[in-house]
Structures are given as structure tokens and as C-alpha cells.
Amino acid sequence: AGPEQGVMDIIVANSRAPAERHGDIAAQLAAHDLAQRRLDDLCARRGGPDALAVAMDALLAYAERRTRASIAAMPDGEWSAAEAIEGDGVTDEDIVIRVRVAISADTMTVDFTGTDAAGPGNLNCPIAVTRSSVFFAVRVATDPDIPASAGAYAPVRIVAPPGTLVNAPPGSAVAAGNVEASSRIADAVLAALAGPADVPAQGQGTMNNLTLGFAGRVYFETLGGGQGASSRADGPSAVHVAMSNTLNTPVEALELAMPVRVERYAVRRGSGGGGARRGGDGVVRRLVVLEPADVSLIAERRRSAPRGSVGGGDAMRGETLVDGVIVPGKWRGRLPAGSVVEQRTPGGGGHGTPA
């Protein structure tokens, strides 16, 4: 109770499922409270806040040294790549992400000059999303043991022209920039980094975002797919790739909470690309809606396949079917009870020419 409760009530009243959002916000508040108590305890055990600040500065400096050493081990030069977002739901035309990676000594510049303008749909990215995508790609190309921190990314300069998809102007729709365009930015940067570094073949490059809206309830899920193979190992199957860190919703939890029946949930065998190292396979997930539902889909890799590398084969593209009919990657509709929605997610590209 009190003023804070009033603020919370206003926030959740502006969501589609207020009862669920109350629990989400309460969990976030509890997490912050726990973090504060643990930080206070750490200061008490380790010499106070000044000593802790010195240790933090040392960690940042260490991470920066490690990243600079990883970049310095790459050859100097420039490498370019481009990836196309397959329309934004308002227009079906490709939106091209262009990137140039330049390495000089122990610094790296990632330049998106030439990227298409922000569009009318919601796949536009605030600069924070673009920075996160770049830093993910840099982490893949450098030593994964480097502590993820501001120090680790200090040697990386990002050029993202204002007004483009990767640095959208105020007022742009950006909801799917975080959950979908971010993966394609990472794909583009990794494709350029394949020149100076040993990076995996392309993964599924999408989160396969599916939203089901029922009376008073909303369900949103992202679905894993195939990861690209590397020079050292096959790509894992049925996993989230690149910018997603979520888990697929367990069938039992979904059927308990929502008017949905899961008819099939399986690995999509053979969807990964072939090669000396095979790409991972995607998944198949078939849902039956038991009540009328508003359905929204935002997905990529429906027109272009995740590419293999160094002679490896491309993966299969993704597909979404509604009552047996393939729908576009950006689609919405109203479905009657008994309708079937099936997602077939992309695999990952293969690596190397098969023996």
C-alpha cells in the first residue's frame, strides 16, 4: 500500500494482463532488494565501498587489456557484410543492414554507414540494441572468458548513422528491434568478422516471436532453432541463438496456464546445413488454440536461409503454418477455436566441406 502501490497500479493498468504484471514487477523489486543487501554485505566484508571501487576498476582494466590483446591477434584490415531484414510488417521490401569492420592494432571500428533508413514497422533499433548486438558479436570473435563489462568493449568504436534502422529517430516503433532485428545485426557483424576471426556459421537468426491473445490473457513465446557449426564442433540443435537468452516454455506449464494444446514439439531433423561440421537442427512446435485468439507473428529467415561457411551447406529456412497454410514472417490474424499454428524453425549453417 501507499504511493508506490498507486504508481504500480497505473503501470500495470496499461498492460494487457495486469494480474501477471503485478507479479513481474514484485519479482523485479525483490531482486533489486536482494542485490542491495548483497552489495552492502560485500562492502562490509571487503574493506568498504572504496576498496570495492578499486576492485571494480581493476576488473574493467583487466577486461580491456584482454580484449585489446584478442583484437591485436587479428590481422589489420577492413571487411564488409550485409544482411537483409525480410520486411517490417508494413512493407514487404527488404531492409538492408550494411556493416564494415575495421581493425587497426588493438582497436576495432564497426561502421553501419549505408544501412537503410528506419521504417514504418516496429523492427527499428535504438542505439542501445545495436550496441548490444555488436558487443555480442565481438564476444563471439574474442576470448569468451573475458569478463563481460564496459572495459571489454572499450576498444570497440561503433558508428551508427542517426535515422537508420540501427539508430532509429525518436518516435520510431522499436518493439521488434530488440527481439528480432538485433539478431540480424549480430548476423551482419559476425559475417564481417569471419574475415579476420574464426566465427561459427550462421545460426537461425530469429526468435520466431509468437503472441496469442485470449480474453484477459496473453501468451508470448520465442522458439529456439539451430546454431551454426564451428570449425571445432557441430552446431547444437533446438537452442536459442545470438541475442536471445530465454528458454522455450514447457508444454505442461503452457497447457495449464493457457487455452492451448500442444500437439507436437520435436527437433526438426535435417534442417541444419551439412558440412565437415553439421549445423544444428531447428524445432517443430504445433499448437491448437482452444478459444478464439488474436495471433501475431514476427519472424525472420522465412525468405533467406542461414548460410554455411568455408564450404558448409546452408540450413533450411523457417516456416509458420496456420491451419496448414504458410503465412508470412510478419503476420497477424484472428483465429477461431480449434485453429492450428505450427512453427518450423530454421536450422544453423554447416561448416567446412564434407569429407
The C-alpha atoms of residue 62 and residue 145 are separated, in whole angstroms, by 12
* 307 Cβ contact list (under 8 Å, min separation 6): 191, 201, 202, 314, 349
Nearest residue to 342 via CA among 286, 294, 301, 299: 286
The three grid cell numbers given for residue 350, joined into one nine-digit string: 554447416
Phi, psi of 310 (to 5 degrees): 55, 45
| CA-to-CA separations, 300 to 2, 20, 132, 188, 345, in angstroms, rounded | 45, 28, 19, 14, 10
Q: Mean pLDDT over residues 11-23, rounded?
A: 86
The C-alpha atoms of residue 64 and residue 147 are separated, in whole angstroms, by 9
CB 178 within 8 A of CB 131: no
Sign of CA dihedral 26, 133, 178, 237: negative
Work out the angle at residue 280's Cα, subtended by the Cα atoms of residues 96 and 93, and round it to the nearest 5 degrees: 20
Sheet holding 293-298, edge to edge: 217-221, 209-214, 293-298, 330-335
For helices 3-13 and 18-45, what crossing angle results, to 10°? 130
- Model confidence pLDDT, tens digit, residues 287-331: 999 999 999 999 999 999 999 999 999 999 999 999 999 999 999
* 56 Cβ contact list (under 8 Å, min separation 6): none
Within 10 Å of residue 201's Cβ, how many Cβ atoms? 34
Sign of CA dihedral 188, 191, 196, 200: positive
Nearest residue to 16 via CA among 218, 211, 258, 294: 218
Q: Which contacts qualify for 1-10: CB closer than 8 Å, 24 or more apart? A: none
Mean pLDDT of the chain: 95
- Model confidence pLDDT, tens digit, residues 23-81: 899 899 999 999 999 999 999 999 999 999 999 999 999 999 999 999 999 999 999 99
Q: Mean pLDDT over residues 325-344, rounded?
A: 98
DSSP structure class, residue 81: E
The DSSP element (H or E) to which 322 belongs, if any, is strand 319-322
The C-alpha atoms of residue 318 and residue 99 are separated, in whole angstroms, by 25
- Model confidence pLDDT, tens digit, residues 233-265: 999 999 999 888 888 889 999 999 999 999 999
Task: Check residue 2 and give its pLDDT.
Answer: 56
The three grid cell numbers given for residue 214, joined into one nine-digit string: 485470449
Domain boundaries, the chain: 3-45, 46-198, 200-355
- Model confidence pLDDT, tens digit, residues 184-231: 999 999 999 999 999 999 999 999 999 999 988 899 999 999 999 999
Has residue 286 got a pLDDT over 80? yes
The C-alpha atoms of residue 347 and residue 268 are separated, in whole angstroms, by 8
- Model confidence pLDDT, tens digit, residues 4-13: 788 888 999 9
Q: Mean pLDDT over residues 112-119, rounded?
A: 98
